[in-house]
């Protein structure tokens, strides 16, 4: 355990405090381990993580204003509303992309017209997009809506602002969803088995023309993806009545990492020039 002192700025007063670095502490978002740039700091029985890291995980932009010693936080344009999720913003049509990349994926729970739905959300360039297949399961009319292509996995997405007037009189309540999103399956025992198979996964989807076969999507710490293909079999000794066997897995490199690597290289070059 490391003990150190640090300066705390408040109203032009610097106060020295004693705090502890805990490299053994971990952070998980929706069940997925998060790689931290710095160890967690413990001060006064509270845990502290770098604000930049925490903001990136939640899709919030940060900006430091040196003149006033202020950290500015900005929510994504057109973020979710209701429940304990991020509040609603507004977005112009110029912010909506014809094609997007998968960046920070989050599982959301929508309560709409008395029913609960799982919705996969993607925060891309500080804008919030929702997977179209999930929205259509809610029986929301997307006729005339501008959809955004996503070439890596092939699922179209829709910007949250496109849904503002399509919700009708009842806007959905939203919250973070604890379990994976299971599409096209109504058997609760099978759903429970898929949830237990990979608790940190994002979503599961039936494989067409294959009996009890599903693909399970996971996102890794570096934002790459792995798709597992599993098959369910009856198992009377299981509490759900089914067990899952892994048929194959496919690792998919996320091209958004190439852009981030280029930015890191540019920053390193600038530091060397300085």
Q: Is the pLDDT at 90 greater than 50, yes or no?
A: no
The CA–CA distances, whole Å, from 71 to 65, 68, 74, 126 equal: 6, 9, 10, 17
Domains of the chain, earliest start first: 2-74 (no CATH), 93-176 (no CATH), 182-255 (3.10.450)
Least confident interval from 82-91, 129-138, 168-177, 242-251: 82-91
Per-residue confidence band for 10, with pLDDT thresholds at 50, 70 and 90: very low
Assess whether pLDDT exceeds 90 at residue 80: no
Query: Using 50, 70 and 90 to split pLDDT, how confident is the model at 266?
Result: very low
Alpha carbon distance 127, 242 (integer Å): 39
Query: Cα 74–78–81 angle (5° rounding)?
Result: 95
* pLDDT tens-digit series, residues 96-131: 889 999 998 999 999 998 999 999 999 998 889 999
Which distant-in-sequence residues (6+ apart) come within 8 Å of 138 by Cβ? 110, 112, 113, 115, 117, 119, 172
Q: What pairs with residue 226 in β-bridges? A: 218, 251
Q: Which residue has the higher pLDDT, 60 or 114?
A: 114
Percent of the chain with pLDDT over 70: 76
Confidence of residue 198 (pLDDT cuts 50, 70, 90): confident
How many Cβ atoms from other residues are within 10 Å of residue 148's Cβ?
19
**pLDDT single digits (tens) 241-259:** 999 999 999 999 999 887 5
CA atoms lying within 13 Å on the CB side of residue 148: 27
Q: Mean pLDDT over residues 65-91, rounded?
A: 57
Write the pLDDT tens digit of every residue in 18-37: 777 777 777 776 666 777 77
Task: Name the nearest CA neighbour of 129 among 104, 165, 109.
Answer: 104
Measured distance CA(168)–CA(31) in Å, rounded: 33
């Amino acid at each position: 355990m490391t003990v150190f002192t640090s300066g705390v700025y408040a109203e032009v007063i610097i106060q020295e405090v004693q705090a502890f670095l805990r490299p053994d502490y971990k952070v998980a978002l929706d069940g997925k381990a998060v790689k931290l740039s710095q160890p967690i700091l413990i001060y006064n029985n509270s845990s502290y993580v770098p604000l930049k890291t925490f903001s990136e995980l939640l899709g919030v932009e940060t900006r430091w204003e040196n003149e006033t010693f202020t950290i500015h936080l900005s929510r994504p344009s057109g973020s979710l509303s209701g429940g304990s999720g991020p509040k609603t913003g507004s977005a112009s049509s110029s912010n909506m992309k014809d094609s997007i990349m998968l960046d920070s994926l989050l599982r959301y729970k929508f309560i709409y017209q008395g029913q609960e739905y799982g919705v996969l959300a993607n925060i891309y360039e500080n804008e919030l997009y929702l997977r179209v297949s999930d929205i259509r399961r809610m029986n929301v009319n997307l006729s005339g809506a501008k959809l955004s292509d996503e070439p890596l996995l092939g699922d179209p997405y829709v910007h949250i602002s496109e849904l503002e007037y399509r919700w009708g009189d009842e806007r959905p309540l939203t919250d973070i969803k604890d379990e994976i999103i299971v599409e096209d399956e109504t058997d609760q025992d099978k759903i429970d088995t898929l949830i237990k198979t990979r608790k940190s996964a994002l979503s599961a989807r039936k494989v067409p023309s294959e009996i009890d076969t599903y693909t399970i999507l996971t996102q890794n710490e570096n934002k790459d993806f792995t798709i597992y293909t599993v098959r369910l079999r009856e198992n009377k000794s299981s509490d759900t009545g089914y067990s899952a066997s892994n048929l194959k897995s496919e690792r998919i490199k996320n091209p958004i990492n190439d852009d981030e690597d280029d930015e890191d290289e540019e920053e390193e070059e600038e530091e060397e020039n300085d």
